[in-house]
Amino acid sequence: MTNPFFQPSTLPYELPPFADIRDEHYLPAFERGFEEQLAEVTNITRRRDMPTFDNTLVPLEQSGQTLMRVARVFYNKSSSDSNDFTNELEEQIAPRMAAHEDAIRLDSQLYWRIKTIHDQLDSLELDAEQRYLVERYFTEMTLAGAGLDDEQKEKLKDYNQKLSTLTTRFEKNLLADTNDLAVVIDDVAELDGLGAGEISAAAEAAKERGLDGKYLVTLVLPTGHPYLANLTNRDVRERIMAASRARGNRGGEHDNTKLVLEITKLRAERARLLGFDTHAGFVTADQTAKTPEAVAAMLGKLAPPAARNARAEQKDLEEIAGVAIEPWDWDFYTEKVRQKKFDVDTAAMRPYFEIERVMRDGVFFAANQLYGITFTERGDLVAYHPDARVFEVANEDGSPVGLYVCDLYTRDSKRGGAWMNELVGQNDLLDQPVVVVNNLNVPKPAAGEPTLLTYDEVNTFFHEFGHALHGLFARVTYPKFTGTSVFRDFVEFPSQVNEMWMLWPEVLANYAVHHETGEPMPQELVDKLEASRQFNEGFQTSEYLAAALLDQAWHSITADDSVSDVAGFEAAALAAVGLDNPAVPTRYSSTYFAHTFAGGYDAGYYSYIWSEVLDADTVEWFKENGGLTRSNGDRFRSKLLGVGGKMDALDAYRDFRGRDAVIEPLLKRRGLE
């Protein structure tokens, strides 16, 4: 049997041949991939001539192609369409992948070769991208522990393998518990306040689990739930909130409390081995923030005014509710106050947000107006799931950009949240094109019924598509710099900027039409929404900052600290920063905080608001320079999105903006002046 991972795909843009891929192909491909890349690295380190860029960095960048092909496809499948097979294989592969990565980045001979080149940088004739490639490898290998002695390296490898296993288990526990805790509703009357599409989606979700005649409210990744804004039945709202907050902390086989303690302890011990006091110190050392103190200083400025604003908002809610506000009440009464104060009803927008029009006439249209790109659906190309659709992206002159795969709907096999990832990463060295994927988690109604998005779901779509554009537009020479391979506290910046086009007048007018009548969304609705822009920002900022500061707290413990009570630690961490308002729970509690315990944002969840400083400053630039124009789009594409990771992120920003970002636009946006 020919394994489809053993050679590059012959499909357009090297799209993986999903129709040919079977479960039995993955493990042999991983094993061959491990073996091949280690042999390729050995060929580099056994050379007898002195290290040069061409005999060390180039073959290193060319190595590991089989492993890259299988890993990208498998990890995409395990997050978007998992099953028992992927769950078992991922737990099996995780420690082996960690060991493989350590075998390369801790290789003393490879490190010597790269250090030798790095020491001679000023005397070598390298272009800017080549020079930055040397700097990145040297920095990353140094921080990873390549300079440790053999005994220390063995201890480090043990930490890394254990952590890879524990974080994988955390994610699998969370998916299983999220599915188990979905709320079953017996009587449709209990769903009063939801639209027909939402009720249909709940009925379909129940039917898929063999619960005919019932309704199933599946949980989303954050603590809150979109339905809480509209459900009139307070008991049902409380049930949904209780289920959401119970994930991973109710005992049993899917409990994550012990994993949280083990993961944070191991990360702290590993940080000490690597020469850092804390894991936060280790992580931020190679980000734009540089130190946890810089992160704390920024978050510390924002937390007090955010908490103050949230308390003021709470008083408004309690006046109209007539009762003390509980977490499950906040969204519901927020809509009531929004209507009373600003005459805004976000639910009234849903009929204007039909998913196909949002995608084609909103998300794609904005990209066309800015960058001149077009999207053609390729029904002849098979994706990894029937719900995933493939689009070919082309420049204005018809030249190819890449493939965009869009997977919109939620399912039990898909993890929560929304994200973007690569299936093929563009680079000139290997002459590879680009294929990116966006995943959302929109409830799917019954066949024939329209999918109407909430305001937040539309915003999320524009956000994730910003990541996709970053991945599609990057043009680099070396695989290491492909797509969104930038500092973690910079990666959210392009996606946050793309959110601005959701309500941009030309864009909104093009997609926001009533799905039944074809009438455009009344301008009055938009004007009122704009007028209420800062409304509820105290809550939104507080619940986000609570999670960001909780992440920092967990990763500010030292190897000598002893923590045994997850709930107690969390409560103390939030109280210490004044974000312990019972009515405003943290966006993610520890046992379902996938970003920090399974998603690669450990000690880095601050990245969203850190990037938002750049985002808000950039939005001001667009407004000052004419907004949605090709010249503005071309500048943003060439100086930021197209750069990928081939230069320092803040240098790229300065090249685009002409200066460093300032924080005032962010403070104004969030009402924190």
Active site residues: 464
For 40, residues 6+ apart whose C-beta sits below 8 A from its C-beta are: 59, 62, 63, 64
Q: How far apart are CA 277 and CA 487, in angstroms?
A: 21
Q: How far apart are CA 213 and CA 207, in angstroms?
A: 8
Q: How far apart are CA 17 and CA 9, in angstroms?
A: 6
Comparing C-alpha atoms, which of 404, 354, 397 is closest to residue 376? 404
Buried-state track 438-476, b at ≥16 Cβ within 10 A, e below 16: bbbbbbbbeeeebbbbbbebbebbbbbbbbbbbbbbbbb
Amino acid, res. 642: G
Q: What are phi and psi of 596, to 5 degrees?
A: -95, -25
For 580, residues 6+ apart whose C-beta sits below 8 A from its C-beta are: 571, 574
Contact 513/519 with Cβ under 8 angstroms?
yes
Q: What are phi and psi of 238, to 5 degrees?
A: -65, -40
Q: How far apart are CA 544 and CA 112, in angstroms?
A: 43
- Cα→Cα distances 439→221, 406, 413, 455, 460, Å: 13, 6, 12, 17, 10
Q: What are phi and psi of 39, to 5 degrees?
A: -65, -40
Q: List the structure tokens of 36.
A: 């091949």
Q: How far apart are CA 265 and CA 166, in angstroms?
A: 12
Any alpha helices (H) in 564-648, and if so which ranges?
Answer: 566-576, 594-597, 607-624, 630-639
Q: How far apart are CA 427 and CA 479, in angstroms?
A: 5
Q: What are phi and psi of 448, to 5 degrees?
A: 90, -15
Q: What are phi and psi of 418, to 5 degrees?
A: -145, 145
Q: List the structure tokens of 406.
A: 């869009």
Q: How far apart are CA 337 and CA 319, in angstroms?
A: 9
Q: How far apart are CA 141 and CA 101, in angstroms?
A: 11
Any alpha helices (H) in 230-291, and if so which ranges?
Answer: 234-246, 257-273, 279-284
Q: How far apart are CA 473 and CA 588, in angstroms?
A: 32
Q: How far apart are CA 19 and CA 15, in angstroms?
A: 11
Q: How far is CA 38 from the centre of its chain?
A: 30
For 585, residues 6+ apart whose C-beta sits below 8 A from its C-beta are: 223, 245, 327, 543, 546
